[in-house]
Amino acid sequence: MKDQIQLINDAINKTKENLKESSFNFIFWGLLIAILSFFHYSFPEIVQKHVYSTMLYWVLIPVLGMITTILYNVKKQKKVGYETYISRALKIIWGVFNISWIVLIFVSLEKKINPTESILFLLGVMILITGLLIRFKPFSFGGVSVVTCSILCVYTPNNSWLLLNGIAAILGLLVPGIALYYRKSNV
Amino acid sequence: MFNPLDKILVNPIRLMITSVLVKVESCDFNFLKQLTQTTQGNLSVQLKKLKESGYISIDKSFEKNYPKTNCKITKAGIKAFEDHFENLKKYQNLNLK
Examine residue A187 and state whether it is found in any structural domain, yes or no: no
Q: pLDDT, tens digit, for every residue of A1-44?
A: 668 888 898 888 888 777 888 899 999 999 999 999 999 999 99
Examine residue A163 and state whether it is found in any structural domain, yes or no: yes
Examine residue A102 and state whether it is found in any structural domain, yes or no: yes
Kindly give the confidence (pLDDT) of every residue in chain B, 97 residues in length, as a single tens digit, with 9 standing for 90 and above.
667 888 999 999 999 999 999 999 999 999 999 999 999 999 999 999 999 999 999 999 887 788 889 999 999 999 999 999 999 888 877 766 5
Please state the ipTM of this predicted complex. 0.83
Whether A5 and B92 lie within 8 Å, measured CB to CB: yes
Residue B6 backbone dihedrals phi, psi, to 5 degrees: -65, 120
Give the total number of structural domains in chain A. 1
* Chosen from B9, B19, B46 to mutate, greatest number of chain A CBs within 10 A: B19
d(CA A124, CA A106): 20
**A chain contacts of residue B20, beta-carbon cutoff 8 Å:** 11-12, 14-15, 82
DSSP B3: P
**B91 touching chain A per CB within 8 A:** yes
Residue range of the domain that includes A153: 21-181
For the domain bounded by B7-96, which CATH number is listed? Answer: 1.10.10.10
Nearest CA in chain B to A84: B24
**Residue B60, beta-bridge partner list:** B69
The letter for the amino acid at A139 is F
